[in-house]
Chains A and B, each alone.
Chain A
């Protein structure tokens, strides 16, 4: 396939030839009922999560101590994606929905197809590399054209960008709030507040009315793409924080190995100081690796399977946190550290296939979460592994 990003002029990815996983997309229309809006918001929840495994993969494949500036930039973006996911859950709860996370359909297999896009852009789990950064640029690409679907029935044109998707959700929320005075009647106790979520630009806030709902959508859209026609996100305006540049432009800095200067715009590209990036200081991995390719019983296979089960446990904790038990988010933090350690163990070992190992390819975490992993993780959670003792202290 050959696709070309209109903003960067970058050409497509040629190393992914198999089929791509897909995330279910709502029809190209403005949601007209509360039920439809909930469906759109559930789709948004899955969309926000979709970005996290590729970003984590790039960050955790960095060699220790290397590419510090890039590491902190990616880390900040991942945290904001977690923030977005949590804000979407707050939105969904505010309109009486029930966020679903611990479900085999919540995650798609990687490489996945970039949702809400015309072109079949593969979102793969790649080590820190130019290809990984190009993938990220595709995900966070700013969308300056707000051509919404028409009202009254599906529009045959179809989705063209994530920005367009969120603009559509926004319009739906406004329309429905006008028609349903009790739209935001979800239980307040299901909202996640700053007590339970931290360490990201912006902050989590409860969604209780149209204003807070629109603010949440604004945070989600603009932290990624930037405030229209600038390189900055809206944190300084919305939260009184230090001015920060949006995800797309942070990734551009890494890709171009140059920072934005004070007078740069989205169209000028970065013209500031050089940014030290060493592409070689990362563990190369196979973007199409699956756990099944690792020999049964091998240490790498055990670690890869373990990673997937622990990741499923994380999904369960998020599911519970988003469904009336916000304190579960605190218990999710050590699980994320467990995942980091498991992932780094994998990345630091050679791929078990001698041919791949000879090419310098390392083993990797594969993020394959099916019903099997979810069932196993639920059993572990019910048996008290990982979080029960901690929760007892927190409560």
Chain B
């Protein structure tokens, strides 16, 4: 009998739905505290062994298009979306052809992975913190939604998350260049990942100069700042008050991957596992934690008193065969950590937690606008992680009232994202056309081919403008019984668009990009094609954008049960023992890659879950009831 069927009818302290980054951390902490935790994972757990990792590597090597999900095998029982699922429409626009059904004005281009380890299997591994001002965008800048908590509330949990993930970075520079507050004397567990040569060329050419933000009408100083990473670097002996830090190696192969060696394929897969993934944390789970894979949770079960009693799940055996048996399992507390879109899908399917009508709404991402060009000289792309530095000054300030802010990320992987380099460059030089029906062009070979490739590829630069998207209730996940997956579960139906606030940001970013290419003396090659699924025009200018893989905002937190889904602990307003953790709880995302903040929020929730469990387990003490009271004596707790 499969393990998924064995736990049928059992009772745990906590059920965690989803063995991705958030669920894994929650299970780790609760297991360490002695609670019996069951983690239900919809996908498979092949990758938690070294042979499984090698299989993913080989799948990646042999795939024709190296997209984020290419190393991870298909699963018909628990399908995942793919960035290739949005294709150009017949008469412009786009069509969605994959797991996600889409009917919005613009395509939602973000994917995720339903497998043990979750989307952290292909995260880029950047761990910037959000800015203190990011938590109050409605009050201060008039867009999106405010958080019910602030940077100071998250500070200790940011530090804890940086320990669990193993962050490499320069805290002093983060404080000085960005203005981030840290505890006195704080350092990250590891020294920063060395800035790439591309970064250093940028710093040499641009530091101290400034560009004009034409929309907000202000000068923005340029400064290249090293980004904190969730990947192994040189441990800092000063960490943890001089106790230091031991980098955590690969899952399934001890003493491997203790340093990043610059393979530059972080997304979709780090070959040596120097990049953090949840499987490393799972290797240190307490025996109190049970992981059951191939268990697709289909419903959250709610009892008469509004409390959640457990979950219903479908156990399957073969990922190629969508055949399952249905079971239930019970717990005192249920934690959904299945990804923003999957959490929303599950809640909508369960008709739970939605008295506010906000479940599924406020779907967000970081729309990524790419610009690219050729430098006059060699800059050595394709060395180091996908990105090691960024310009951070566009993230903050009053210009946020005029347009969406962005993080201006310097890419180390040339035109990979924009044009599929270097493979596409080789194909072009060989005269191989983009379409099999086009005639083959002239080709160069041998030494000349190598020289021309080196000359061009070595000069490629690209910028990734990662814009903040404001929460809008019209951007949402809904269900339609017409659209179902192999096990009969409703697939998510997405309605998505960008606000004018974001589009104004893209307009400003385009102009800033032109100015930077000018300062660099670079040959800008940015071109937005109407054939791109995300193509749109705004104020007569063409734009395209990509998803960042930062799905968020489908069960937002707030300080009011009528207008938000969860409270500041990510606890459902409607069901006191149901927690919804992950980026779905974020009411706004700022411009920081959200993983670190998600981890910090999850760790903060664990503290509250622990308190709830203590309350639930403490024996009752029978006490006299004050006269006139209508409470049963045994309901009185100490």
Chain A interface residues toward B at CB < 8 A: 68, 72, 76, 79, 193-196, 198-201, 203, 241-242, 244, 330, 393-394
State which of A79, A195, A196 has its C-beta within 8 Å of the C-beta of B255. A79
Residues of chain B from 15 to 71 with CB closer than 8 A to chain A in the complex: 50-51, 54
Contacts of B253 in A (CB 8 A): 72
A198 touches B237 (CB 8 A): no
B237–A203 CB distance below 8 A: no
Asked whether A199 lies within 8 Å of B54 as measured between CB atoms, the reply is no
* Extra pairs beyond A76-B254, A199-B255 (13, CB < 8 Å): A72-B256, A76-B255, A79-B255, A194-B235, A194-B237, A194-B246, A196-B234, A199-B256, A199-B258, A203-B246, A241-B254, A244-B254, A394-B194
Task: Pick the 10 closest A-B CB pairs, nearest first.
Answer: A198-B258, A199-B258, A201-B255, A195-B234, A242-B254, A200-B255, A198-B259, A194-B235, A199-B255, A393-B194
User: Across the two chains, which residue of chain A brings its CB closest to B54?
Assistant: A68
Q: What residues of chain B lie closer than 8 Å to A241, measured between beta carbons?
A: 254
B107: Cβ under 8 A from any A Cβ: no
Tell me the interface secondary structure of chain B in the complex.
Answer: loop
Task: Flag B240-270 by CB within 8 Å of A: 1 or 0 each.
Answer: 0000101101000111111100000000000
Q: Which residues of A contact B255 (CB under 8 A)?
A: 76, 79, 199-201
Given contacts A76-B255, A201-B254, contact A195 B249 (CB under 8 A): no
Query: Do residues B254 and A194 form an inter-chain contact, with CB atoms below 8 A?
Result: no
Distance (Å) between the CB of B197 and the closest chain A CB?
9
| A68-B54, A72-B50, A76-B255 as given contacts; A195 in contact with B237, CB under 8 Å | yes
User: How far is the CB of B190 from the nearest CB of chain A, in Å?
Assistant: 10
Chain B residues within an 8 Å CB radius of A244: 254
Q: Are B249 and A193 in contact (CB under 8 A)?
A: no
Please, how many angstroms separate the alpha-carbon atoms of A97 and B254 in the complex?
33
Most A Cβ at <10 Å: residue of B51, B235, B255, B256: B255
Does A198 lie within 8 Å of B194, measured CB to CB?
no
Interface residues of chain B, those whose CB is within 8 Å of chain A, are 50-51, 54, 191, 194, 234-235, 237, 244, 246-247, 249, 253-259
Sampled A-B contacts (28; CB under 8 Å) = A68-B54, A72-B253, A72-B256, A76-B254, A76-B255, A194-B235, A194-B237, A194-B244, A194-B246, A195-B191, A195-B234, A195-B235, A195-B237, A196-B234, A198-B259, A199-B249, A199-B255, A199-B256, A199-B257, A199-B258, A199-B259, A200-B255, A203-B246, A241-B254, A242-B254, A244-B254, A330-B234, A393-B194
| Chain A interface main SS type | loop
Report Cα–Cα, A203/B194, bound state, in Å: 23
Which chain A positions have C-beta within 8 A of B259? 198-199
Complex CA–CA separation, A242 to B244 (angstroms): 20
Contacts of A76 in B (CB 8 A): 254-255
Return A191 CB to nearest CB of chain B, in Å: 12
Residues of B within 8 A of A200 (CB): 255
C-alpha gap A68/B55 in the complex (Å): 12
Q: B244 — which chain A residues lie within 8 A by C-beta?
A: 194
- Complex: how many Å from CA A195 to CA B54? 28
The interface residues of chain A lying within 8 Å CB-to-CB of B246 are 194, 203
Chain B residues near A199 (CB, 8 Å)? 249, 255-259
Cα separation A201 to B258 with both chains bound (whole Å): 11
Complex Cα distance, B257 from A392, in Å, reads 24
Q: How far is the CB of B46 from chain A (nearest CB, A)?
A: 16
B249 closest partner in A (C-beta): A199
Distance between Cα atoms of A393 and B195 in the complex (Å): 9
Q: Enumerate chain A residues within 8 angstroms of B235, measured Cβ to Cβ.
A: 194-195
Nearest CB to that of B245 among chain A residues? A194
User: Within the assembled complex, what's the spacing in Å between the Cα atoms of A165 and B235?
Assistant: 34
CB-defined contacts of B54 to chain A, threshold 8 Å: 68
Q: In the assembled complex, which residues on chain B have CB atoms less than 8 Å from the CB atom of A393?
A: 194
Distance from A266 Cβ to chain B, minimum over Cβ atoms (Å):
21
Interchain CA distance A199-B259 in the complex, whole Å? 8
The chain B residue with its CB closest to the CB of A394 is B194
Chain A residues whose C-beta falls within 8 Å of the C-beta of B256 in the assembled complex: 72, 199
What are the residues of chain A within 8 A of B247 when measuring CB–CB? 198
Return the chain B residue nearest A243 by Cβ.
B254
Cross-interface CB contact of B237 among A72, A193, A201, A242, cutoff 8 Å: A193
Nearest-neighbour CB distance to chain B for A75, whole angstroms, equals 8
- The CA of A76 and the CA of B257, in the complex, are separated in Å by 12
Which residues on A sit within 8 Å (CB–CB) of B258? Answer: 198-199
Please, how many angstroms separate the alpha-carbon atoms of A195 and B258 in the complex?
11
Which residues of chain A come closer than 8 Å to B257, judged between CB atoms? Answer: 199
Smallest CB gap from A337: residue in B: B261
Residues of chain A contacted by B50 (CB below 8 angstroms): 72
| Nearest CB of B to A287, in Å | 29
Find the A residue at minimum CB distance from B232. A198
Contact residues in A for B237 (Cβ distance below 8 Å): 193-195
Q: Cβ of A68: which chain B residues have Cβ within 8 Å of it? A: 51, 54
Residues of B within 8 A of A193 (CB): 237
Which residues of the partner chain B approach A195 to less than 8 Å between Cβ atoms? 191, 234-235, 237
B483 to chain A, nearest CB (A): 41
- Name which of A72, A194, A393, A394 has the most chain B CB atoms within 10 A of its CB: A194
Nearest B residue to A239 via CB reads B246
A200 to B257, CA, bound (A): 10
A198 to B248, CA, bound (A): 11
C-alpha spacing A330/B259, complex, angstroms: 11
CB A247 to nearest CB in B, in angstroms, measures 13
A378 to B387, CA, bound (A): 35
How far apart sit A194 and B255, CA to CA, in the bound complex (Å)? 13
